[in-house]
Amino acid sequence: MIVKDFFRLIGVSIGLLTVFSLATAAESGAPVRLYVREVPITVLGKQGKVIAIEQVNGTIGLHLTEADGFNVEVVNLLNEPTSIHWHGLILPALMDGVPFVSQNPIPPKGTFHYQFPLKQSGTYWLHSHYGLQEQLLASAPLILESAEQNAKADEQYTVLLSDYSFTPPARILARLKLGMPGMGSMSVKKMPATKKLYGQTWDESGGFARTVVDGELPDTDVKYDALIANRRTVEAPDVFRVKPGHTVLLRIIAGSAATNFFVNTGASSSQLTAVDGKDIEPVSGNYFQLGIAQRIDLLVKIPDQGGAFPIVAQGEGTTQQCGVVLATENAKIPQIPLRAEFAAAGLDNTQELRLKAKDPLPEKPVDRSLPCVLGGDMAKYRWTINGAAYPNRSSLDVKEGERVEIVFRNDTGMTHPMHLHGHDVQVTEIDGTKVQGALRDTVIVPPKSTIKVIFDANNPGVWAFHCHILYHLAVGMFTVLEYEGADTQFWQPEKTLTELLPSSQ
Ligand SMILES: [Cu+2]
């Protein structure tokens, strides 16, 4: 049904696309086509419209192996431009999919061919980097499978978490800029009263666990109508039928626009084996932090006696939940509550302090240290990097071959998930504590924290570097990492992100 409708839609939209190849890139050398189009969604019984990025057969996103290489043609079936970014991939700069940084936007009915060798395996994702399309669920998993990872588990599933609002994203942003209560918490005063919250704790015997703490609700920008997992709310969650005794690899992606998560695996024992697609020394637990745009790979052991095991994600600063269920044959599917008893606390450094990269960067002195001070003017909804908002930015400048350190200092009351395109960074210091930390592409910087990361400047170009809270990015918490002598043909900082906002919404 969906496929039929899709063909009809494409037929109407672009007559010249009459032949569809269902072959994979590996079979034929032809690119996999990804169609970006508007689709209906039902959230809590109400109809809405969102964007899907899917293959002709309806598969959302991409599953590739290193041997496939990356060979994808994006077809824009929207009535506005788009541009698709491959989050976390180490790729040539001009394949990175950021409008006015690495390419021009793809116009309506236009296409763009992305082709490059794959150098990684693991859990990644893809999303629109154009305007506020990401809030309309213009995101999908991008799984780079490897034999090594497949050997770790008997079965594997992917869970894409999102936040959903019936309010059009441009209106959400307009309201945030006005500091309007109800939609955002940017009303300057925060209720000082402490309350009971769910937070994460470390327990030497069991690992990461949920605990009830007294604290203040963390600042969040947007109040959502629902949190969703694989485009479903809790009343009809994705149910993955698993076998008793099996080890299940869960690839969980925070594809949300402005919601950090805690993931609760409940009764099932689990191990965190990778973050942002990159292996760590495994750590146990059943309660994990997951910042916007980050990923966690969990190995979940299904007991020999079987049963049903909800995997629940709760939004930071809210009681809202979404999730999926792992269930053996005939197991009764439990109802995941729409709301948790207590709101989730803010993300903090509890988890990050205990993560250790499996393949750390080689020892090497730092050639260049770049400060990155995260600032904000709550009342004006202006979010800054080193005091500037894009396009009035200072780029972070590097030379090829350097070992570079970034020192994040968060002067604001909000957590910022900071994302550097085209590179892996390794966390080396958290509030003065040295760590041989995880390799990441997105680093959570909690309020008042200072976090140091290092990376090797070995991928020349102009690279987007920004906060992954969509509305922070849109008002200028965005700059670029610029290599000396890089190709700047597409980089047009004067085309500000705000000007990209669709006028229709
Ligand atoms: Cu931010």
Same topology between domain 2-147 and domain 164-347: yes
CA distance linking residue 105 with residue 256, whole number of Å: 22
Longest alpha-carbon distance in the chain:
62
CATH homologous superfamily of 164-347 equals: Cupredoxins -  blue copper proteins (2.60.40.420)
* Backbone region of residue 359 per phi and psi (left: phi > 0; alpha: psi in -120 to 50; beta: other values): beta
Condensed to tens digits (0 to 9), the pLDDT of residues 93-144 reads 999 999 999 999 999 999 999 999 999 999 999 999 999 999 999 999 999 9
CA of 409 to the centre of ligand 1 (A): 12
**Is residue 431 over pLDDT 70?**
yes
CA distance linking residue 314 with residue 91, whole number of Å: 33
Q: Side chain identity at 26, as an amino acid letter?
A: A
CA of 199 to the centre of ligand 1 (A): 21
CA of 461 to the centre of ligand 1 (A): 24
Condensed to tens digits (0 to 9), the pLDDT of residues 228-278 reads 999 999 999 999 999 999 999 999 999 999 999 999 999 777 999 999 999
CA of 159 to the centre of ligand 1 (A): 24
Architecture of domain 368-500: Sandwich (2.60)
Condensed to tens digits (0 to 9), the pLDDT of residues 207-223 reads 999 999 999 999 888 99
Q: Which residues surround ligand 1, an ion (CB under 5 A)?
A: 416, 467, 469, 472
Q: Which CA distances in Å does 329 have to 82, 122, 212, 301, 368?
A: 42, 28, 34, 16, 56
**Does the domain made of 2-147 have the CATH classification 2.60.40.420?**
yes
CA of 417 to the centre of ligand 1 (A): 6
CA of 308 to the centre of ligand 1 (A): 37
Q: How confident is the model at residue 52 (pLDDT cuts 50, 70, 90)?
A: very high
**Where in the chain are the domains?**
2-147, 164-347, 368-500
3-state secondary structure of 262: strand
Nearest to 125 by CA among 32, 55, 71, 60: 60
CA of 438 to the centre of ligand 1 (A): 21
3-state secondary structure of 98: coil
Condensed to tens digits (0 to 9), the pLDDT of residues 268-304 reads 779 999 999 999 999 999 999 999 999 999 999 999 9
CA of 104 to the centre of ligand 1 (A): 25
